[in-house]
């Protein structure tokens, strides 16, 4: 999504990242290493996680697919920051329109499972067309 900020701006989209971290400094470091232009909200009580039906799973979080992804990232030059927080918490991607209606719900099955950025952009563009026709 970081590389698509121009398109997001054209679509008048605000990206919010939600973290269950209770350490603002760790969250800040994570944000700086990922995409610091997005707004980060901290949810240490995981209210948003529960509301959106996101799961926790040790088995799905620490599987061969996840370990291979970490190896790929390390080989590509990413630094290992160690395990921070609850590594069993699974993530998700959601598109919420201006009326608060969920337009896309994607609950990750494991840490490597995320929707393609192209799919997210296509959903946002479709939503933009719907609003233009109203």
pTM comes to 0.80
pLDDT tens by residue, 97-122: 989 999 999 999 998 899 999 999 99
**CA–CA separation, 107 vs 95, rounded Å?**
12
The mean pLDDT of 33-53, rounded to a whole number, is 90
Give the 3-state secondary structure of residue 46: coil
Please report, for the chain, the start and end positions of each structural domain, with discontinuous segments joined by +: 2-132
Would you state the CATH architecture of domain 2-132?
Answer: 3-Layer(aba) Sandwich (3.40)
Query: Burial level of 120, CB count in 10 A (0-12/13-18/19+)?
Result: buried
pLDDT band at 83 (very low <50, low <70, confident <90, very high): low
């Amino acid at each position: 999504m970081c590389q698509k900020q121009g398109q997001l701006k054209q679509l008048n989209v605000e990206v919010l990242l939600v973290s269950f971290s209770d350490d603002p400094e760790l969250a800040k470091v994570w944000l700086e290493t990922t995409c610091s232009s997005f707004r980060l909200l901290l949810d240490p009580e995981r209210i948003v996680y529960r509301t959106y039906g996101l799961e926790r799973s040790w088995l799905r979080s620490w599987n061969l697919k996840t370990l291979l992804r970490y190896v790929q990232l390390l080989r590509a030059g990413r630094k290992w920051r160690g395990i921070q927080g609850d590594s069993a918490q699974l993530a998700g991607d959601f598109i919420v329109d201006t009326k608060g209606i969920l337009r896309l719900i994607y609950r990750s099955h494991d840490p490597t499972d995320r929707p393609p950025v192209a799919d997210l952009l296509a959903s946002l563009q479709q939503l933009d067309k719907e609003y233009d026709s109203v």
